[in-house]
Structure 1
Amino acid sequence: MDRIKITGLRVFAYHGVLDREQEEGQPFVLDLILGVDLEKPCHTDQVEDTINYAEVCDVVRDAMTGCKYRLIERAAQEVASRLLRKYENLEEVTVILKKPRAPIPADFEMVAVEITRRREGIHHA
């Protein structure tokens, strides 16, 4: 399977267990790996035959800012679900959602979750 990668997408959002996280917000960083057959766009050289990266970023921003979630696991699931619903040619998506300012008393770079979802696991509403 071919892959498109988008790394380091920064989104300011309001997710967290603590009230102040949902009131004040904080930055999140996402890495996305999109599993898609790229054979056709490799031959046609047409953007219509692939997944538009700018649109993907818009979908991710909307998913991250449209609702407030207590867990980054839930936010990552929403990102994956929206991408799979929007792009019929997307076979698999991995979302790595990083929370650099998690309010825990430890010296760390960031906490993160990584989820992978496949087309057969998505239910259309």
Structure 2
Amino acid sequence: MGVVKVNNIRVYAHHGCLAEESIIGSDYRVDVLVRANLSPASISDKLADTVDYVQINQIVVEEMKIASKLLEHVAKRILNRIFSEIEMATEAEVSVSKINPPIGGDVEMVTVQLNEKRL
């Protein structure tokens, strides 16, 4: 078993429950961890035998373009795509963070984290 992590994917998106959030948008950070059997890749040295982190980044960028009210909804969509498109993924964790959230306080970011295992 092994892990492929893609950390601090930075995107600008329009998520939130407030009307101005969907209009103005804000900065987000997304972190993804995918567990899979990486032993074949460690021997073959072939991209086809591993989890392609370029594909993970593309999934995140595409899903973050679709506006949602809740970060949970965005994270779940990303997880769904990982399991539908990366067959070797056995488990995944997605964290979606809103940078400088509009909550009336000095808060660096808020984060929602979802974990799933392939059934």
TM over 0.5: yes
Q: Give, in whole Å, the separation in 2 of the partners of 1:117 and 1:64.
A: 19
Give a deviation string over 1:81-118, Cα, whole Å, max 9, x none.
Answer: 11111011011110011111211011121100111011
Q: Which runs of 4+ in 1 moved over 3 A?
A: none
Where do 1:21-100 residues align within 5 Å?
21-65=21-65, 67-100=66-99
Which residue is equivalent to 1:123?
A: none
Give CA-to-partner distance per residue, 1:41-77, whole Å, 9 cap, x none. Answer: 0000111111111111011111111x21101011111
Q: 5+ residue gaps in structure 2?
A: none
Amino acid across the alignment from 2:11: V
CA distance in structure 2 between the partners assigned to 1:89 and 1:75 by the alignment: 22
Identical aligned residues as a percent: 29
Partner of 1:18: 18
Distance 1:26 1:84 in 2: 27
Shift of 1:7: 0.5
- Contact in 1 for aligned 2:5/2:31 (Cα 8 Å): yes
Return the TM-score normalized by structure 2: 0.96
Structure 2 partner of 1:117: 116
Give the TM-score taking structure 1 as reference length: 0.91
Structure 1 gaps of 5+ residues are: 121-125
Q: CA RMSD in A?
A: 0.9
Q: Which residue identity lines up with residue 86 of structure 2 in the other structure? A: Y
Q: Distance in 1 between matches of 2:87 and 2:54?
A: 17
d(CA) in 1 for partners of 2:112 and 2:52?
25
Letter in 2 for 1:2: G
